[in-house]
DNA sequence: CATGAATGAGATTTCATTCAT
DNA sequence: AATGAATGAAATCTCATTCAT
């Protein structure tokens, strides 16, 4: 039995939102999985929308933190890409539902300004890396948006495969995938 | 006043499901947008779940049809990839909501056996192309699943950018994107 | 295919009302069983309530007619009872649903003044017979209401047993039943 | 304000079902009469069908209990009949709606296996008494079903008369009725 | 006349939220 | 603080009735 009910609620909500979406998840479902009373959720969050927004911000910031930590600011773009790619998998593995939650909930009509801004800030980090790579003549001259869409879109689906057991994560696989996606964005 | 109410319902439902998800869309919302009475929807579909499944199958089959039509069965893999990539954009442009609907609803807990099977059949087509390419030594030795995840995941996000106006579709852009994704999966 | 749609509707409605009650029977159910369009019912009856009332009156009047025909007005009470008892079974057998319909729908909140009056008239016939028997010192001094309740209540359940096949109708059985019910009301 | 909402719901439902039938009674009607919110009913019963079945079982078991209590197992059949007849009136008077509810809802298409079985068990009790009487040469050789139909059918209608005020319950009346129905089933 | 597609009012049921304990 | 029973607004779904064909 966890001491921190707020965290229990976050975990339960994240899993359910990831599996069934925002509207497909009921507050009693969350309470039940978190092993708290339904009313308790309203001690920690104003309402369901508040909860999903708080959770979204928390997840994106955690993801961001994992990516940013020890980021090789001065290394070359290839190494920066390596860092990002590996950290994305690290985060996804350690927070299996968080990634799916983020991916299926960005663009949700229930996200507030802060949530959207947090996600934009997160993307901006990648944009900066990409822009830097383009300036160095290493990365294709596509819009940064496009590069991010390619890597992030591919990554989301790839992790989903691993998560569901349809593909096994091995060091060799990760090497191949990293190489594949690097080829997608670099100038050849 | 349209003659075909079933089609009106399909169109309204597709747009709303794409924008707000299955559970976030109410039957009166659909009826309203389709300009039919709420009860009319139940003359055409047994219930809401029936509707989303019928719509899913219809959309996937349409998508499949666009990809399969004039597919260069005997050409080399690069040309097959070109065909697929271009047709994906053609379908997405002509059925802008259909793609978003498919992408946000595969894996939905409300999809029935037939819907899932239809989607699997669709993916199998790509798997066959990829396998063929691997046998010819043109495509990387990653699992076919992974190649599809990369291309399809990237494509989904890319089209979303174009759709929302954050990126402009030009012939040059499409050429670059095709090249980028081809680099991701081919042996270099 | 019957020529008389009104009669088809009556038959279908009677069977369904008998089995499922007034509120448990939908107009489309009736239309379906009567093999007419739902709208056709509204050519013959103003609405569902109109139909059930017309049907009730028709059934009670038919029942009444069967009882009254050849009623031995001048015979003794025992013979009058015999006539009534036998005719009740004749009617019930020839109009199997009608009896169940009447029994489960008298006291219905949807019955109008005319329906209730028709049923009262029907009961008055029995009351007169009973009163006559009481005056002759043949029948117990219970209220006529009570005698009717005993015979009619018993009869309803008995016929239900035969109808459902849980009891077989034989001449011997009918003789026994007639004797049993006569014993209930006569002075011994 | 009652403490036991489940019981309030039962009482309200029983009265309404007795008066208007299953399909003629809406859940909001029940909620309104029970002075609870409509949603509350679904905390206690899975759905409307569940409610009617639970109520039916409860009523039949209560009725059964009243009949069985202090039943003179070793007395003669006449005395057993006396016990049953009197207790039926006791139950009917104390649970005026319960009897009407039972009588108008047995054979309902919405009753489940358990409800039907409970009612059969109830009838089996009477069958045993009747069989015993037949073996002792006191009761007519009609099928037990028939005897029950006669007594129970008659009783139902008789109580309805008393209930509605069309007949007044006096000790003399009950004596007469008991004698009347006993004459119906005994060998004379 | 006859039909059955269409409708919307109203039925059943769910669920976000409150509040007495 | 924590609970979960209670609520009623809103969701899904049904059906008596209408009306264009």
Residues of chain A under the 50 pLDDT cut: none
On the question of pLDDT at B41 being above 80, the answer is: yes
On the question of pLDDT at B109 being above 70, the answer is: yes
Name beta bridge partners: B186. Answer: B139
A146, B158 in Cβ contact below 8 A? Answer: yes
Please provide the distance, in angstroms rounded to a whole number, between the alpha carbons at the two ends of chain C.
54
Helix orientation angle between D96-105 and D48-68, rounded to the nearest 10 degrees: 120
Is C142–D176 a contact, with Cβ atoms under 8 angstroms apart?
Answer: yes
- What span, in angstroms and rounded, lies between the C-alpha atoms of D58 and C171? 40
Chain C environment of D81 (Cβ under 8 Å): none
Residue of chain C nearest D16, judged by CA positions: C109
D2 pLDDT band, cuts 50/70/90, is low
Is D180–C181 a contact, with Cβ atoms under 8 angstroms apart?
Answer: no
On the question of pLDDT at B15 being above 80, the answer is: yes
Name beta bridge partners: C186. Answer: C139
Measure CA D132 to chain center.
22
Q: What is the pLDDT of residue C34?
A: 97
Q: What is the mean pLDDT of chain D?
A: 95
Phi-psi region of B20 (alpha: psi -120 to 50; beta: other; left: phi over 0): alpha
Torsion of CA B42, B9, B153, A104, to 10 degrees: -60
Contact partners, residue A140, CB within 8 Å, separation at least 6: A134, A147, A185, A186, A187, B176, B180
Cβ of B32 near strand E (under 7 Å)? The reply is no
Interface contact A62, partner B, CB < 8 A: no
DSSP line for D95-161: THHHHHHHHHHTT-TT--HHHHHHHHHHHHHHHHHHHHHHHTT-B-SS-HHHHHHHHHHHHHHHHHH
Chain C environment of D27 (Cβ under 8 Å): none
Cβ of C36 near strand E (under 7 Å)? The reply is yes
Q: How far is the CA of C30 from the C1' of E3 (A)?
A: 15
Q: What is the pLDDT of residues B124-181, one digit of tens each?
A: 999 999 999 999 999 999 999 999 999 999 999 999 999 999 999 999 999 999 999 9
On the question of pLDDT at C27 being above 90, the answer is: yes
The pLDDT of D25-49, averaged and rounded, is: 97
Contact partners, residue B3, CB within 8 Å, separation at least 6: none
Q: What is the pLDDT of residue C136?
A: 95
Cβ of D137 near strand E (under 7 Å)? The reply is no
DSSP line for chain B: --S-HHHHHHHHHHHHHHHH-STT--HHHHHHHHTS-HHHHHHH-SSHHHHHHHHHHHHHHHHHHHHHTT--TTS-HHHHHHHHHHHHHHHHHHTHHHHHHHHHHTT-TT--HHHHHHHHHHHHHHHHHHHHHHHTT-B-SS-HHHHHHHHHHHHHHHHHHHHTTSS---HHHHHHHHHHHHHHHB--
C77, C116 in Cβ contact below 8 A? Answer: no
Residue A54: which of A133, A98, A111, A8 has the closest Cα? Answer: A111
Burial of A165 (0-12, 13-18, 19+ CB in 10 A): exposed
Measure CA B22 to chain center.
16
On the question of pLDDT at C1 being above 70, the answer is: no
On the question of pLDDT at B37 being above 80, the answer is: yes
Q: What is the pLDDT of residue B82?
A: 98
Which residue gives the smallest C-alpha to C1' distance to F12? B27
For chain C, how are helix, strand and coil distributed in percent, rounded to 5? Answer: 75, 0, 25
Which residue gives the smallest C-alpha to C1' distance to F18? C39
Residue of chain D nearest C181, judged by CA positions: D184
On the question of pLDDT at B2 being above 90, the answer is: no
Chain C environment of D157 (Cβ under 8 Å): 148-150, 152-153
Q: What is the mean pLDDT of chain B?
A: 95
Residue C103: which of D63, D149, D118 has the closest Cα? Answer: D149
Is B149–A140 a contact, with Cβ atoms under 8 angstroms apart?
Answer: no
- Give C185's Cβ-side CA count (13 Å radius): 32
**What percent of chain C shows pLDDT beyond 90?**
95
Residue of chain A nearest B149, judged by CA positions: A157
Chain D environment of C15 (Cβ under 8 Å): none
- What span, in angstroms and rounded, lies between the C-alpha atoms of D110 and D97? 19
Which residue gives the smallest C-alpha to C1' distance to E4? C37
Q: What is the pLDDT of residue A2?
A: 64
Q: What is the pLDDT of residue D96?
A: 87
On the question of pLDDT at C118 being above 60, the answer is: yes
B185, B146 in Cβ contact below 8 A? Answer: no
Q: To the nearest whole angstrom, how far is the Cα of B4 from the nearest Cα of chain A?
A: 30
Chain D environment of C188 (Cβ under 8 Å): 183, 188
Q: How far is the CA of B47 from the C1' of F17 (A)?
A: 22
pTM: 0.93
**What percent of chain D shows pLDDT beyond 90?**
95
- What span, in angstroms and rounded, lies between the C-alpha atoms of B187 and D63? 83
Q: What is the pLDDT of residue C96?
A: 86
Q: What is the pLDDT of residue D3?
A: 67
The pLDDT of B119-127, averaged and rounded, is: 96
- In the block, tokens 């009918």 appear at C174
Convert A136-152 to b/e letters by CB count within 10 Å (16 or more is b).
Answer: eeebbebbbbbbbbbbb
A163, A67 in Cβ contact below 8 A? Answer: no
Provide the residue count of chain B: 188
Token pair in block for residue D170:
């006096």
Name beta bridge partners: C139. Answer: C186
Q: What is the pLDDT of residues C55-70, one digit of tens each?
A: 999 999 999 999 999 9
Chain C from 93 to 112: CB within 8 A of any D CB: 104, 109
User: Among positive and negative, which fits the CA dihedral B40, B46, B47, B48?
Assistant: negative
Number of helices and strands (H, E) in chain C? 9, 0
User: Phi, psi at residue C186, to the nearest 5°?
Assistant: -80, 165
Residue C45: which of C18, C98, C7 has the closest Cα? Answer: C7
- What span, in angstroms and rounded, lies between the C-alpha atoms of A171 and A167? 13
């Amino acid at each position: 039995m966890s001491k921190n009910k707020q965290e229990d609620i976050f975990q339960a909500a994240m899993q359910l939102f990831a599996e069934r979406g925002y509207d497909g998840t009921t507050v009693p479902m969350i309470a039940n999985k978190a092993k708290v009373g339904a009313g308790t959720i309203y001690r920690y969050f104003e309402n369901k929308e508040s909860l999903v927004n708080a959770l979204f911000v928390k997840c994106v910031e955690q993801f961001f933190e994992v990516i940013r930590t020890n980021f090789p600011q001065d290394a070359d773009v290839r190494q920066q890409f390596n860092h990002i790619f590996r950290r994305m998998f690290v985060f996804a593995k350690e927070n299996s539902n968080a990634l799916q939650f983020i991916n299926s909930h960005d663009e949700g009509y229930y996200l507030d300004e802060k949530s959207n801004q947090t996600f934009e800030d997160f993307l901006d980090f990648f944009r900066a890396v990409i822009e830097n790579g383009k300036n160095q003549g290493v990365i294709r001259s596509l819009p940064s948006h496009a590069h991010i869409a390619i890597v992030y879109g591919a990554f989301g689906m790839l992790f989903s495969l691993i998560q569901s057991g349809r593909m096994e994560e091995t060091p060799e696989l990760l090497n191949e995938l990293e190489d594949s996606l690097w080829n997608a964005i670099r100038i050849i």
